[in-house]
Structure formats: structure tokens, C-alpha cells
Amino acid sequence: MNFLVLGLSYKTAPVELRERLNFASDDPGSVLRAMTDLPGMTEAMILSTCNRVEVYAASKDLPLGCARLQRYMAAYHELDENQVKPHLYVHCGRDAIHHLFRVASSLDSMILGEPQILGQLKEAYNQAESSCTAGPVFNRLMPKAFAAAKRVRNETAIAQHAVSVSYAAVELARKIFGELTDKNVMIVGAGKMCELAARHLTGQQVGEVLVTNRTLARAQALAEQFDGRAVPFAEFPLYLSRADIVLTSTAAGGLLVTRTQLEEVIRQRKNRPMFLIDIAVPRNIDPDANQIDNVYLYDIDDLNGVIETNLRERRKAAKKAEDIIEQEIDRFYSWLRSLEATPMIVALRQQVEEIRRSETEKTLHGLRHLDAGDRRAIEALTLSIVNKLLHSPLSVLKRAGDDITGEIYLEAVRRLFDLNPDPQKSGMDAVEEGADTKQDSIS
């Protein structure tokens, strides 16, 4: 496969350099076309996110293509090539496909399994298509990359369970309450820390939202933001019994809610469960409150512990995902080969049929005394001989596409019968070359 990827990511380059090389804000179409205008370059696509800048390309001459792309990238961003070079990675052929599949499946992401990258990749592909810089190589490869990513997502736990504090809080709330539709949320303190978690919680179509803060104005501002109601700070304990979920984050607030207070609240609530999320340091809620029946108290360390466990699960899932990707790449190659087998089968059939028809015609020409029935019988005889003879070789050829050694048979048939079928599409040439160049690498 004459396919290559050249780029840098959070793994190889500091953020300053990634920023400078970012293509995001420019007119992508003209950049892409400029890339395909480079000699030998046939297709190009740019994936530019905050964690990576990568150019995917198809080129007739891989080493040369890489060198030119590299120069182009540096020049475009007005950087010295040697400044960029140490941070760049280059993959060709199968390695490049492997990289693409891993990126699509979010295995190469900073946060393992994060879902955005697939969308960004699809967008990049769409951009390349609309700029007419996507050709047969991309059109065969990209859908397979998306399919591999989908499989990884469905068959492994890579994208399951929260890996951020705010999502972990929502997920735990769901484990306690199931649906959150009629659950009331109380937000105590209005620090920056709290805001994100509060936004995720209130984004779940909860019931009433109560907000309190030492400065009432700030509480009111937040309440407006979350479509809730501001409560004076001095009175908030009175409202506790109405809240199913309480989020506290009052910095330097010290202990605001004691265990005895909560025991009374739970009694008033007739034991309806409460989920308390205390992300303040020092903590706002007495840690002993967790021992009360039907009270679930999580502080910031607890939430981080949950996230850590979830991340560990994702890393475990990633191992399985790597296997899936290997399988998908194998499948991709065997699919490519099966594409090659089809024109060969057609050509072989055509050739044999031609021979049969002309030879039968010749013979029948000399046997004029036969009546129409006899002629039909001879015609049928030759047909069935040919079909019987061809049956086995043709089925081997059909299977050759799935077989690693399939190419051998195709080559054998090509030579034995002196066949030279036209590929179905001119693009086929481009893809076909890949088999030889997949070992290529660039230093």
C-alpha cells in the first residue's frame, strides 16, 4: 500500500510546537491541494487536533513523498525543517494503516478511549473528499478504519465508564438513583472546580436545582446559569432534606455539614438515599457521614480512585483492542486481494469460453450432416466439459482472496494462461503496488 502518515502528537512534540504546526484555522482545501500538487503525491488528508497534527497521504514514491511533505509542512508554517524533524514520526504501508486504525479507535489518544477523535477523523476525510484530494486509496481505507474503530468501541470496554471527576459523579449518581429526572440537586459553593461538575449533573434533566454561596450575587449568577434557585448561605442546611444530590466545593469553608445534621436530614427524608459529592479541600462534609445508612459520601480522592479504576479497565480493554486492529488489518488486506481475484476469474472464463466457441464452431462446420438436435448436444457437451474443468480452479481463485498465499495462485494462473486482466478501476493500480512497498521505511 503506497500509503503514508507523517505527523507529530502529544507523545513526540511539546504543545508550543503543536500549536505552531496546527492547520486548523487555515483554508484547508487549498493546503490539501497544494500537498497533492507535490510531485508523486496523489492523495492527502490533514488531521489537526489539539493533541496531534498528522498528514495522511498516498504517494507513488514513498521516501520522496515523505521528504517533500516534511519540507512543505515546515515551510508552510515558516519553521526550519530541522526544528520540526526530530518531533516527526513517519509510517508507511502497513505501519501507516496500523497507525490510522489505532488513531481512529482512540488507542493513540491522550485519554484512552475518548470519543472525539473518530469524529475529527471523519471530518478530516470529508474535507479531503470535498477538496478532491481523496482518491481510491483513501476511499478504500477510511471506511475500514471507521469500521475498525466501531468494532473496538462495541467489543471492548475502551470507552466505558467515566474518566473525569464530573462524569464519574454523574455515573455514580445513576448507580444510586437510576434515572435522575426527578432528583433535586443542591450546589454549595460556586468555585470553578464545582462548575463543571454542576454543569454535567444539571445537564441530566434533573429536578430542582438549588444554589448557595457566601456571596449571594455569585449564587444568583450560577443559579441563572443552571436554571435553578439561589438560597441564602446561612439557610442552606434547612434545604438539605430536599436535595437528593449535594455538591459542595466551598474553598476555605471548612466543615459545613456534620454527621448529626445529616442523620436528622435522612430521618426527615424517610430514608430516601442521598448522594453527597464533596470536592472541596479541606472537606465541607464530615467524612463520617458515609457511615449513615442511605448516605453515600464521595470526596475528591474517592472520585479520583473511581477514575483510576476505570482507567485501569480501559487500559486492559486496550490490549484486546490491539488484537482487533490486527485482525481488521488482515481482513483489509485479504479484502484487497479478493478485489484482485475477480478480474482474473473473469478473464480466465472469457479466454476459455472463446476457445470453446471457436473450436466447436470449427468442428460443427465440418459435420454438416448433423441435424439441429445433434448440434445442440455437441454444444452442450463442450459447455459441460469446460465448466467441469474450470470448476475447481475457479473456486480456488475465489478463495485466494482470503488466503495469505492467495497471490501465488493468482500469479500462477496469470502465467499458465497468459492472462493480463484489466483492473476494474485505475485506482486498483495504486492500491496494488502496496504489497511490495509495505516494507518500506524512512529513517
Partner 1 sequence: MTIDILLFRTTLLAYALATGLALADILWRRPVLGRHGRILLWSGFGLHSLSMISRYLMTGFPPLSSLHESLSFFAWAIIGTFLLFHLRYRLAVLGAFVAPLALVLMIFGSAVSTATTAPPPPLQSWWLPVHVVLAFLGDAVFALAAVAGCLYLLQERMLKKKKVSSLFYRLPSLQVLDNLNYRCLTIGFPLMTLGIITGAIWADRAWGAYWSWDPKETWALITWFLYAALLHGRLAVGWRGRKAAVLAIIGFVLLLFTFLGVNLLLSGLHSYSALGTY
Any contact of residue 242 with partner 1 (CB under 8 A)? no
Query: Nearer Cβ to partner 1, position 318 or 394?
Result: 318
Whole-angstrom Cα distance, residue 92 to residue 150?
24
- Closest CB to partner 1 among residues 272, 319: 272
What does the H/E/C string look like for 71-92? HHHHHHCCCCHHHHHHHCEEEE
Quick note: the x/- pattern for partner 1 over 243-272, rule CB under 8 A, is: ---------------------------xxx
Selected from 16, 78, 175, 234, the binder of partner 1 by CB under 8 A is 175
Q: Is 174 in the site for partner 1 (CB under 8 A)?
A: yes
Q: Contact between 320 and partner 1 (CB under 8 A)? A: no
Q: Which of 83, 309, 350, 363 contacts partner 1 by CB under 8 A? A: 309
**Size of residue set near partner 1 by CB under 8 A:** 25
Minimum distance from residue 132 beta carbon to partner 1 (Å): 42
Assess 207 for contact with partner 1 (CB under 8 A): no
Task: Looking at residues 275 to 304 of the shown chain, list those that interact with partner 1 (rule: CB under 8 A).
Answer: 290, 293-294, 296, 298, 302
The one segment of 208-216, 279-287, 308-316, 367-375 that binds partner 1 by CB under 8 A: 308-316
Single out the segment in contact with partner 1 by CB under 8 A; choices: 91-99, 172-180, 340-348, 390-398: 172-180
Shortest distance in whole angstroms from residue 246 CB to partner 1:
16
194 is catalytic: no
Catalytic residue positions? 50
Interface positions with partner 1 (CB under 8 A): 157, 160-161, 172, 174-179, 270-273, 290, 293-294, 296, 298, 302, 305-306, 309-310, 313
